[in-house]
């Protein structure tokens, strides 16, 4: 099966995703926006046949098999449920929803409707991630003892910007921190202990935070994210017999080096997605899951999606970030 995509939202991330899909030869048949002019402009830019001035019209489009939800976090659950009710598969931009309760509601609805719901945590689907999982699980670096990951960006400071607005799910965690948290979950699973410190903005969202995740195995993850500073965005997985150092910017298509305990290089992996950003891999995986008649991706299961949201719920609770309506 070749999935025909409908793009819900016409912002920057929707443009990046659509560009990668078309560059990889995948089918994008429609776009929807609350503004018909924006939908028309988006469709014209990418050569898309159908432009809809409402999300309802987009999900009702018979030429659409799957909907990519590319709007602010607080709308993800509502719009994913809209698409699911129309019988469409959904790929929901990270963070999947605002909290774990919303995530479970969406996933339960998808299961009941017999459609696939996946999170667009694109790093999970990159070739480098598959190789890294294999290295860790093979015991090449021994037992994992420590995972570190940093995600720093200097983003808009306008209090009206969605990143700074609690009503739109603003803050570092749902936009940036979700990458390190999901990375730790990918390699180590759900933590048993969570200890978070953070600094809140004047608007009441987290400008920066750090967290230590503890695991029954004795491993730990130390993660740091901020939306008001820049830095060297790298990640390292330390084991009893070696380590893996992932190049900057670690959550994008990059390479990594595997060292043994004597600092000798065991392996060098170099990522190559050509001229594309790499977002098409998640679309290819959804197509594979649907074609195989599966209900979820083993790369990020429904349980895994909810587990990540639970961890972030607890992190927000510990630093005092609460969104309207929670």
Distance of CA 302 to the CA centre of its chain: 13
In this predicted structure, what is the pLDDT of residue 272?
82
In this predicted structure, what is the pLDDT of residue 1?
62
Coil, strand, or helix at residue 50? strand
Token pair belonging to 205: 């969202």
User: CB of 32 within 8 A of CB of 50?
Assistant: no
Domain with CATH 3.30.360.10 in the chain: 124-274+307-319
Other residues' Cβ atoms within 10 Å of the Cβ of residue 241 = 14
The yes-or-no answer on residue 94 being catalytic is yes
3-state secondary structure labels for all residues of 123-135: HHHCHHHHHHHHH
Per-residue pLDDT of the chain (326 residues; tens, 9 = 90+): 689 999 999 999 999 999 999 999 999 999 999 999 999 999 999 999 999 999 999 999 999 999 999 999 999 999 999 999 999 999 999 999 999 999 999 999 999 999 999 999 999 999 999 999 999 999 999 999 999 999 999 999 999 899 999 999 999 999 999 999 999 999 999 999 999 999 999 999 999 999 999 999 999 999 999 999 998 999 999 999 999 999 999 999 999 999 999 999 999 999 886 789 999 999 999 999 999 999 999 999 999 999 999 999 999 999 999 999 88
If 0-12 CB within 10 Å is exposed, 13-18 middle and 19+ buried, where does residue 269 land?
middle
CATH code for the part of the protein at 4-122+279-295: 3.40.50.720
In this predicted structure, what is the pLDDT of residue 217?
94
In this predicted structure, what is the pLDDT of residue 166?
95
Please tell me the pTM assigned to this model: 0.96
Provide CB contacts within 8 A for 314, sequence distance 6+.
194, 196
d(CA 128, CA 225): 22
pLDDT of 188-218, one tens digit each? 999 999 999 999 999 999 999 999 999 999 9
- From the list 140, 174, 129, 148, the residue with the least C-alpha distance to 298 is 129
Class of domain 124-274+307-319: alpha beta
In this predicted structure, what is the pLDDT of residue 2?
87
Token pair belonging to 150: 């940093």
d(CA 62, CA 48): 15
Catalytic residue among 38, 88, 94, 317: 94
Token pair belonging to 66: 């799957």
pLDDT of 80-133, one tens digit each? 999 999 999 999 999 999 999 999 999 999 999 999 999 999 999 999 999 999
Cross-strand bridge partners of residue 213? 194, 221
Domain with CATH 3.40.50.720 in the chain: 4-122+279-295
DSSP structure class, residue 74 = G
In this predicted structure, what is the pLDDT of residue 183?
98
User: CB of 312 within 8 A of CB of 176?
Assistant: no
């Amino acid at each position: 099966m070749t999935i025909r995509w409908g793009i819900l939202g016409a912002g920057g991330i929707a443009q990046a995703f659509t560009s990668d899909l078309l560059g990889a030869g995948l089918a994008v048949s429609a776009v929807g926006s609350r503004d018909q002019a924006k939908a028309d402009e988006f469709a014209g830019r990418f050569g898309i046949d159908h432009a809809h001035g409402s999300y309802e019209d987009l999900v009702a489009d018979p030429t659409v098999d799957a909907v990519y939800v590319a709007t602010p976090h607080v709308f993800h659950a509502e719009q994913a449920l809209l698409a699911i009710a129309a019988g469409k598969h959904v790929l929901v931009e990270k963070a999947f929803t605002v909290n774990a309760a919303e995530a479970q509601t969406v996933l339960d609805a998808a299961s009941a409707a017999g459609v696939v719901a996946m999170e667009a945590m694109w790093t999970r689907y990159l070739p480098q991630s598959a190789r890294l999982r294999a290295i860790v699980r093979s015991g090449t670096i021994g037992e994992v003892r420590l995972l570190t990951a940093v995600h720093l960006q200097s983003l808009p400071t306008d209090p009206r910007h969605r990143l700074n607005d609690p009503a739109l799910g603003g803050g570092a965690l749902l936009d940036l921190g979700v990458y390190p948290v999901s990375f730790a979950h990918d390699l180590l699973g759900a933590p048993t202990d969570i200890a978070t410190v953070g600094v809140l903005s004047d608007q009441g969202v987290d400008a920066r935070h750090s967290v230590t995740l503890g695991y029954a195995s004795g491993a730990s993850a130390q993660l740091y994210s901020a939306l008001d500073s820049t830095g060297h965005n790298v990640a390292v997985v330390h084991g009893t017999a070696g380590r893996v150092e992932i190049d900057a910017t670690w959550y994008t298509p990059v390479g990594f080096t595997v060292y043994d305990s004597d600092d000798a290089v065991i392996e060098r992996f170099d990522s190559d997605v050509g001229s594309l950003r790499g977002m098409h891999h998640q679309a290819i995986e959804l197509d594979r899951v649907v074609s195989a008649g599966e209900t979820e991706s083993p790369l990020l299961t429904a349980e895994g999606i909810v587990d990540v949201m639970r961890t972030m719920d607890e992190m927000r609770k510990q630093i005092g970030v609460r969104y309207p309506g929670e």
